[in-house]
Amino acid sequence: MAKPVCGPLRALVLLAGLVAGLFVAFPAAAQLQYLSLASGSPGGVYFPLGGAMADLLTDVLPGVQVTSESTAASVENSRLVGLGMADMGMVLGSVAYKAYSGEAPFDQPLPLRALFQMYPAPQHIVALKDSGIRSVHDLRGRRVSTEAPGSGAETIALTILEVYGIDPDSDFRRARLSQTESADALKDRVIDAAFYNFAYPASVVVELATVRDIDLISLEPDMLERLLADHPYFVRTVIPAGTYRGVDRDVLAVGDSNLIVVHADMPEDLAYAITKTIFEHAEALHPVHPVARLLVPENGVTSPIPLHPGAERYFREAGVLE
């Protein structure tokens, strides 16, 4: 007959049993996978939509916890994902194309793949109405923010200025402010105009229009055609009349895709699960911003860089990819 375990040895046996019981009772805790989603700065769409996507994925995907991180957006996010410092990133299609191809402002190709397009977005050129700025040509000699350093909006701004033959470092007084900083500078009349890129209506512009009379600058059709011919990853877009207070005409603008990108090495099953979850539960994101209604497979499959194999699998199941 075995002797009963007692004393210190008994305590160790009980403790070992308790620890083993915890792993049996809570196996998911030991397998929890933490993912990061690099979004953008407050004031645009990336920040709230990124937070809502992170919450959705955390709630729906078992064993996955996603955290949204505020960043300077597209260029920074491409580098973060490409260097393995973030798992997912919100990135303009034009910037993703340049990162994938190794074009400036990137020094070498980054191993990015797209999960899906979130939505296309027009470049906003917002000016104080009493500034007299009615064309990109009129930015010469003015005080202009070309957006935050490293942002996709800045990249598009510089592309537009190049087509118009404007040097931002010599033809006007340049600021490089974030979305909210630009709005504050316009409110305080520190600058005359600012470039933004986001879906409409953007809260930062809606709020600005309540305290200042603003105008949105249209691109001339011939200049837009030159822009599209040189940069085929851009698209023609229109910001409808009445989108913002005081802007009562359609505004012709260059548009860009907005993607969720991941590293090429992301496991296929994980990429599939993320893509499937977002599109099958997209209605949960509708209250965050009207642009979330564009999260349908027919839009999501569009990308200027290759889709991740896991995303391709989902879009084939959804019937929008052969």
pLDDT band for 74, please (50, 70, 90 cuts): very high
Question: Please, what are the domains in the chain?
Answer: 30-120+257-317 (3.40.190.10), 121-256 (3.40.190.10)
Residue type, 308: H
Backbone dihedral region of 319: left (phi > 0), alpha (psi from -120 to 50 degrees) or beta?
left
pTM for the structure as a whole = 0.68
Q: What is the mean pLDDT of residues 277-281?
A: 98
pLDDT at residue 232 is higher than 50 = yes
Q: What is the mean pLDDT of residues 112-128?
A: 95
Q: Residues 187-230: pLDDT tens digits?
A: 999 999 999 988 888 889 999 999 999 999 999 999 999 999 99
Q: Residues 305-314: pLDDT tens digits?
A: 999 999 999 9
Contact by Cβ (8 Å): 193, 165:
no
Q: Is the dihedral of CA 214, 206, 243, 254 positive or negative?
A: positive
pLDDT band for 236, please (50, 70, 90 cuts): confident
Residue carrying structure tokens 């019937």: 319
Task: Output the pLDDT for position 21.
Answer: 46
Strand-pair category, 251-263 with 112-128? antiparallel
List, as one string, the DSSP characters of 183-225. Answer: HHHHHTTS-SEEEEE-PSSPHHHHHHHHHS-EEEPPPPHHHHH
Residue from 280, 315, 302 nearest 61 by CA = 280
Task: Output the pLDDT for position 30.
Answer: 52
CB-based contacts of 315, cutoff 8 Å, min separation 6: 116, 275, 297, 300, 301, 307, 321
